């Protein structure tokens, strides 16, 4: 599995910690986030990850900002992206099972490293339920 990860200045530290988790789990990581804490604009990183997902360079995108909210709003503007701001075990599970999220977002100001590791455990080990495909198709119709 290959994952692209992007972040703004607020998400820099949590990004580094998330990369550690991904590498420990033998996941190939493409880091396109900022590597300093100098102010940047999160949409610039959301688009980078979103495009790597839609052109199928990677299997999944992870975006980290202060809350994960701005990143999910920006990423969801890109056709084909289903970005979900996951924040507990249930949303981590359902974002995959029902929504087939292809980008997940985290908040460095709202989640600890330990919480993010648990959310990744849940999301990555949950399967999409195909009975929800007709709803995904309706989202695609909205995009057209
Ligand atoms: C940056 O201060 C902050 O606004 C950003 O990281 C994010 O939380 C936006 O949603």
CATH number for 110: 3.40.1400.10
Atom of ligand 1 at shortest distance to CA of 66?
8
Q: Which residue segment(s) compose the domain that 107 sits in?
A: 2-143
Q: Does the beta carbon of 46 lie inside 6 Å of ligand 1?
A: no
Query: For 12-35, what is the mean pLDDT?
Result: 98
98 is catalytic: yes
- 49, 30 Cβ separation under 8 angstroms: no
pLDDT on residue 16:
98
pLDDT of residue 122: 98
pLDDT at 108: 98
For the CA of 10, the nearest atom of ligand 1: 6
Q: Evaluate: CB of 66 within 6 angstroms of ligand 1.
A: yes
Q: What is the pLDDT of residue 138?
A: 98
Burial readout 19-31 (b: 16 or more C-beta within 10 A, e: otherwise):
bebbeeeebebeb
Backbone angles phi, psi at 109, to 5 degrees: -95, -5
| Count of the separate structural domains present in the chain | 1
Q: What is the DSSP letter of 72?
A: H
Residue 21 has what pLDDT?
Answer: 98
Catalytic residue among 9, 25, 98, 111: 98
Q: How far is the CA of 66 from the centre of ligand 1 (A)?
A: 4
Residue 61, pLDDT score:
99
67-103 pLDDT per residue, tens: 999 999 999 999 999 999 999 999 999 999 999 999 9
CA of 65 from ligand 1 middle (Å) equals 5
Sign of CA dihedral 111, 3, 8, 104: negative
In angstroms, rounded to a whole number, what is the distance separating the alpha carbons of residues 99 and 121? Answer: 17
């Amino acid at each position: 599995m290959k994952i692209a990860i992007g972040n703004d200045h607020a998400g820099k530290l949590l990004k580094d910690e998330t990369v550690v988790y991904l590498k420990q789990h033998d996941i190939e990581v493409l880091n396109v986030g900022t590597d300093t804490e100098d102010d940047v604009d999160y949409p610039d990183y959301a688009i980078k990850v979103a495009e790597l997902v839609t052109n199928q360079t990677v299997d999944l995108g992870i975006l980290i900002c202060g809350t994960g909210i701005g990143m999910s709003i920006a990423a969801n503007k890109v056709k084909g992206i289903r970005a979900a701001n996951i924040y507990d075990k249930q949303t981590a599970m359902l974002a995959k099972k029902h929504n087939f999220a292809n980008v997940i977002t985290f908040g460095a100001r709202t989640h600890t490293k330990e919480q993010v590791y648990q959310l990744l455990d849940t999301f990555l080990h949950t399967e999409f339920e195909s009975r929800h495909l007709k709803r995904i198709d309706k989202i695609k119709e909205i995009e057209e």
